[in-house]
Amino acid sequence: MRIFHSYKQDTDEELMLRVSRNDTYAFEEIYTRYATRMQGFFIRMLGYDIAKAEDFTQELFLKVYESRSAYEEGRIFSSWAFSMAYNLCKNEYRHREVVETHELEQNYDSNTTEEPSFEKMYDRAVFENQLSISLNKLPADQLAAFTLRYNEELSVSEIAQILDCPEGTVKSRLHYALHSLSQSLSMYNPIKP
C-alpha cells in the first residue's frame, strides 16, 4: 500500500522488483526519476527532434513496463533502461539510413557547408550552436558514448553494458569523439563569462 510505504527511499532496483509484481505506484516513481533523463538522451541522440524524443520516451517506458517480468534481479536499472533506449535509437538510425540513401539518390548536390564569419566566431551562442551541429555529425556509437560518459556521468563499465561492447571499445569511441569534436571546434574561441 502506498499510504504506508514511501517509494522515495527505495533504490531503482527495488522499485523495479515492485513493478515486476504489477505495482503501478512504483512504476510511477521510476517514471518520475527517469523520464526527464531519458528524454534528454533522446533529444541528443535524435538530432534535437523534440516531438520524436517525446514519442521515444513514451515508447521506452512502455517497453520497460511490458518487459517488467524479464527484469533480472541485481541488474542496474539505469544500464538496463539506457541500453533499451540506445536500441530504440539504433532502430531509428537504420530507418533513417534507408530514407537518406533514397533521398541522396534523388538529390546529390547538398554538400553546402558555410564558413562562419570572423565576428560570429567569438559568439558563445554560435559556439553552442556549432557544438550541437558537431555532436550531430558524430557517429551514433560515439555520440552515445560521449553523452553517457560526460552528460549522464556514467562509468565506462556501465557504458560498456549499455552499448553491449568491451570497455576498451568504449574508451576508443570516447577518444575518437573527443578528438573529432576538438578538431571541429578548434576555430571557435568563445568569450568566457
Residues forming contacts to another protein in the complex (CB under 8 A) are 24, 28, 31-32, 35-40, 43-44, 48, 50, 53-54, 57-58, 61-62, 65, 127-128, 131-132, 135, 146-147, 150-151, 171, 174-175, 178-179, 181-182, 185-186, 190
Q: Which is nearer to another protein, 17 or 170 (CB)?
A: 170
Helix 77-106 and helix 156-163: axis angle, to 10°? 60
Query: Which residues are CB-neighbours of 38 under 8 A, at least 6 positions away?
Result: 57, 60, 61, 81, 85
Compute the distance between CA of residue 136 and CA of residue 149 in angstroms, rounded to an integer: 16
In the complex, the smallest distance separating the C-beta of residue 75 from another protein, rounded to whole angstroms, is 22
Give residue 31's Cα distance to chain centre.
Answer: 16
Q: Which is nearer to another protein, 101 or 186 (CB)?
A: 186
Do 156 and 175 contact (CB within 8 A), yes or no? no
In the complex, the smallest distance separating the C-beta of residue 131 from another protein, rounded to whole angstroms, is 5
In the complex, the smallest distance separating the C-beta of residue 117 from another protein, rounded to whole angstroms, is 20
